Amino acid sequence: MIKIYHNPRCSKSRQGLAILEASGKSFETIKYLENNLTSVELQDIIIKLGIKPIDLIRKNEAIWKSEYKGKSLTDNEIIAAMVNHPKLIERPIVINDDKAVIGRPPEAIKDII
Protein backbone atom coordinates (compact mmCIF):
# COMPACT_ATOMS: atom_id res chain seq x y z
CA MET A 1 0.00 0.00 0.00
CA ILE A 2 1.28 3.43 -0.96
CA LYS A 3 1.20 6.09 1.76
CA ILE A 4 1.69 9.83 1.52
CA TYR A 5 2.54 11.88 4.59
CA HIS A 6 0.77 15.04 3.59
CA ASN A 7 0.36 18.65 4.70
CA PRO A 8 -2.54 20.22 2.79
CA ARG A 9 -1.11 23.71 3.35
CA CYS A 10 2.12 22.87 1.49
CA SER A 11 2.16 23.38 -2.28
CA LYS A 12 4.76 20.63 -2.86
CA SER A 13 2.69 18.24 -0.77
CA ARG A 14 -0.45 19.09 -2.78
CA GLN A 15 1.50 18.51 -6.01
CA GLY A 16 2.67 15.15 -4.68
CA LEU A 17 -0.89 14.19 -3.80
CA ALA A 18 -2.00 15.14 -7.33
CA ILE A 19 0.69 12.86 -8.81
CA LEU A 20 -0.61 9.95 -6.72
CA GLU A 21 -4.22 10.69 -7.67
CA ALA A 22 -3.28 10.81 -11.36
CA SER A 23 -1.48 7.47 -11.08
CA GLY A 24 -4.80 5.69 -10.51
CA LYS A 25 -3.22 3.57 -7.79
CA SER A 26 -4.79 3.26 -4.37
CA PHE A 27 -3.01 5.02 -1.55
CA GLU A 28 -3.48 6.21 1.99
CA THR A 29 -3.17 9.88 2.92
CA ILE A 30 -1.74 10.58 6.36
CA LYS A 31 -2.11 14.14 7.58
CA TYR A 32 0.84 13.97 9.93
CA LEU A 33 0.17 17.39 11.49
CA GLU A 34 -3.20 16.10 12.74
CA ASN A 35 -2.07 12.56 13.59
CA ASN A 36 1.37 12.91 15.14
CA LEU A 37 3.93 10.30 14.21
CA THR A 38 5.64 8.30 16.93
CA SER A 39 9.40 8.00 17.20
CA VAL A 40 9.14 4.37 16.01
CA GLU A 41 7.16 5.44 12.92
CA LEU A 42 9.69 8.17 12.16
CA GLN A 43 12.61 5.77 12.59
CA ASP A 44 10.96 3.38 10.13
CA ILE A 45 10.42 6.19 7.60
CA ILE A 46 14.03 7.36 7.98
CA ILE A 47 15.32 3.82 7.39
CA LYS A 48 13.16 3.46 4.26
CA LEU A 49 14.39 6.83 3.00
CA GLY A 50 17.98 5.78 3.63
CA ILE A 51 18.87 9.12 5.25
CA LYS A 52 19.98 10.48 8.60
CA PRO A 53 17.30 12.05 10.84
CA ILE A 54 18.80 15.52 10.33
CA ASP A 55 18.10 15.18 6.59
CA LEU A 56 14.36 15.00 7.29
CA ILE A 57 14.37 18.33 9.16
CA ARG A 58 12.99 21.53 7.67
CA LYS A 59 15.85 23.74 8.81
CA ASN A 60 14.14 27.02 7.88
CA GLU A 61 11.25 26.50 10.31
CA ALA A 62 11.21 29.07 13.09
CA ILE A 63 11.04 26.40 15.81
CA TRP A 64 14.22 24.77 14.47
CA LYS A 65 16.06 28.08 14.37
CA SER A 66 14.98 29.12 17.86
CA GLU A 67 15.21 25.78 19.69
CA TYR A 68 17.67 23.49 17.93
CA LYS A 69 19.94 25.22 15.40
CA GLY A 70 23.61 25.10 16.30
CA LYS A 71 23.13 22.49 19.02
CA SER A 72 24.86 19.12 18.95
CA LEU A 73 21.93 16.70 18.86
CA THR A 74 21.86 12.91 18.73
CA ASP A 75 19.70 11.14 16.15
CA ASN A 76 17.21 10.28 18.91
CA GLU A 77 17.02 13.94 19.98
CA ILE A 78 16.38 15.00 16.39
CA ILE A 79 13.61 12.39 16.08
CA ALA A 80 12.13 13.60 19.39
CA ALA A 81 12.13 17.15 18.01
CA MET A 82 10.11 15.97 14.99
CA VAL A 83 7.69 14.07 17.24
CA ASN A 84 7.18 17.17 19.39
CA HIS A 85 7.11 19.60 16.45
CA PRO A 86 5.79 17.79 13.34
CA LYS A 87 6.13 21.01 11.30
CA LEU A 88 9.84 20.19 11.26
CA ILE A 89 9.28 17.10 9.09
CA GLU A 90 10.12 17.56 5.42
CA ARG A 91 7.16 16.89 3.13
CA PRO A 92 5.66 15.17 1.33
CA ILE A 93 6.97 11.71 2.09
CA VAL A 94 5.69 8.86 -0.05
CA ILE A 95 6.22 5.22 0.90
CA ASN A 96 5.57 2.24 -1.34
CA ASP A 97 6.36 -0.99 0.52
CA ASP A 98 10.07 -0.75 1.42
CA LYS A 99 10.78 2.22 -0.85
CA ALA A 100 10.34 5.83 0.20
CA VAL A 101 11.05 9.27 -1.19
CA ILE A 102 10.72 12.87 -0.11
CA GLY A 103 8.67 14.54 -2.83
CA ARG A 104 11.02 17.45 -3.46
CA PRO A 105 10.67 17.85 -6.32
CA PRO A 106 7.23 16.23 -6.42
CA GLU A 107 8.17 14.38 -9.62
CA ALA A 108 10.52 12.21 -7.52
CA ILE A 109 7.37 10.39 -6.35
CA LYS A 110 6.98 8.86 -9.81
CA ASP A 111 10.19 6.87 -9.23
CA ILE A 112 8.55 4.66 -6.58
CA ILE A 113 4.97 4.33 -7.80
3-state secondary structure the chain: CEEEECCCCCHHHHHHHHHHHHHCCCEEEECCCCCCCCHHHHHHHHHHHCCCHHHHECCCCHHHHHHCCCCCCCHHHHHHHHHHCHHHECCCEEEECCEEEECCCHHHHHHCC
Which position among 3, 10, 64, 113 bears the catalytic label?
10
Can 10 be counted among the known catalytic residues?
A: yes
Please give the positions annotated as active site: 10
